[in-house]
């Protein structure tokens, strides 16, 4: 069902229900309430905070090394770097890059994919602000396509939106629900387009047994308050492409490639270029590290699924 058809059907059913119940009393007047229990909306990640997060924070405080690359003493800070390794393992990808937010991850991804002025990026018409904001900030044009019954990007409406200027497709997995990646990837391969997965709202969800974010050319995540892993604010980018990872790592850190990232890559393949400042600090990295290990995170996701059945 297309988005417009869905909205029309929803409006019709609402009007019919209202007409059928117009003679009944409101709950305020003594009638039967629509719900007997209130809807609940909890902040997922912080429910699982315990001594592990406290320990990580205190270690950074005591060593006085909150900057991710260096600080006082002889030992280098390792919280963010270790989080990147744990997160890449959790998402079954070769590389992960820690970032200050999911929005920052989208901005870095646009630059890593070399999207800029004159380019077009196809994305779903129903999505979060950051998706089209990142495209516009890159100087490119957002092109909206319809959503399907999953409320995510409809593969059947993508090809009609492709032009000679199309460079990428952004598949957004909203509210833990995966988009049709088989259909999206097939179209992308046919037209030689890059696929960026926005799994900001789906940290821990999967598609045919593979973590969301690991199927396209790159994936991004939000680690904000409403997420299963949270530091209040945070983000990450994952990819299996070494050149794409190098571009992301360079852009997030003023165009430089730090030795630990160069070591992870084996060798640098790009020259220095102009970048921004999107580094994560060690306090944030420590909190995320406590929740990012594969076993505890899978347990969190399983408990959340069970609570919402």
Residue-level pLDDT at 27: 85
Examine the pLDDT at 22 and tell me if it is beyond 50: no
Q: Give the Cα separation of 122 and 135 in Å (integer).
A: 10
Q: How many CA atoms within 13 Å lie on the side-chain side of 57?
A: 11
Residue-level pLDDT at 245: 98
Q: Give the Cα separation of 99 and 279 in Å (integer).
A: 6
Q: Residue holding tokens 């990646």?
A: 181
**Can you name the residues that pair with 153 across neighbouring β-strands?**
147
pLDDT (mean) for 284-293? 91
Report the mean per-residue pLDDT for the chain: 91
Q: If you write DSSP's letter for every residue of 96-131 in order, what string do you get?
A: EEEES-HHHHHHHHHHHTT--TT-EEEEESS--HHH
Q: Parse the chain into domains and list their residue ranges.
A: 45-307
25: annotated active-site residue: no
What would the two tokens of residue 143 be? 């092109």
Of 171-180, 230-239, 279-288, 291-300, the range with the lowest mean pLDDT is: 291-300
pLDDT in tens, 126-150: 999 999 999 999 999 999 999 999 9
Residue of 161, 194, 227, 267 marked active site: 227
Q: What CATH class is the domain 45-307?
A: alpha beta
Contact 206, 298 (CB under 8 A): no
pLDDT in tens, 170-195: 999 999 999 999 999 999 999 999 99
pLDDT (mean) for 50-60? 95
């Amino acid at each position: 069902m297309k988005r417009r058809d869905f909205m029309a059907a929803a409006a019709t059913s609402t009007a019919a229900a209202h007409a059928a119940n117009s003679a009944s009393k409101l709950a305020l007047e003594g009638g039967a309430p629509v719900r007997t229990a209130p809807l609940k909306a909890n902040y997922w990640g912080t429910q699982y905070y315990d001594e592990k997060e406290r320990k990580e924070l205190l270690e950074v405080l005591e060593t006085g090394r909150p900057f991710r690359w260096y600080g006082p003493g002889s030992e280098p800070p390792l919280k963010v770097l270790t989080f990147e390794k744990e997160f890449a393992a959790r998402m079954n990808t070769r590389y992960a890059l820690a970032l200050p937010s999911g929005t920052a991850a989208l901005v870095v991804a646009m630059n890593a994919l070399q999207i800029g002025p004159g380019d077009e990026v196809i994305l779903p018409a129903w999505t979060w602000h950051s998706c089209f904001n990142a495209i516009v900030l890159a100087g490119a044009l957002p092109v909206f396509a319809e959503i399907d019954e999953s409320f995510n990007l409809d593969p059947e409406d993508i090809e009609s939106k492709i032009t000679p200027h199309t460079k990428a497709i952004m598949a957004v997995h909203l509210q833990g629900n995966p988009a049709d990646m088989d259909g999206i990837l097939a179209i992308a391969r046919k037209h030689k387009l890059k696929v960026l997965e926005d799994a900001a709202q789906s940290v821990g969800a999967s598609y045919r047994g593979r973590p969301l974010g690991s199927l396209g050319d790159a994936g991004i995540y939000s680690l904000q308050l409403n997420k299963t892993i949270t530091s209040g604010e945070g983000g990450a980018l994952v990819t299996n492409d070494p050149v794409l990872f190098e571009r992301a790592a360079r852009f997030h850190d003023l165009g430089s490639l730090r030795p630990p990232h160069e070591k992870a890559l084996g060798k640098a393949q790009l020259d220095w270029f102009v970048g921004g400042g999107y580094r994560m600090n060690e306090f944030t990295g420590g909190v995320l590290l406590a929740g990012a290990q594969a076993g505890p995170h899978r347990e969190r996701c399983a408990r959340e699924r069970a609570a919402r059945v």
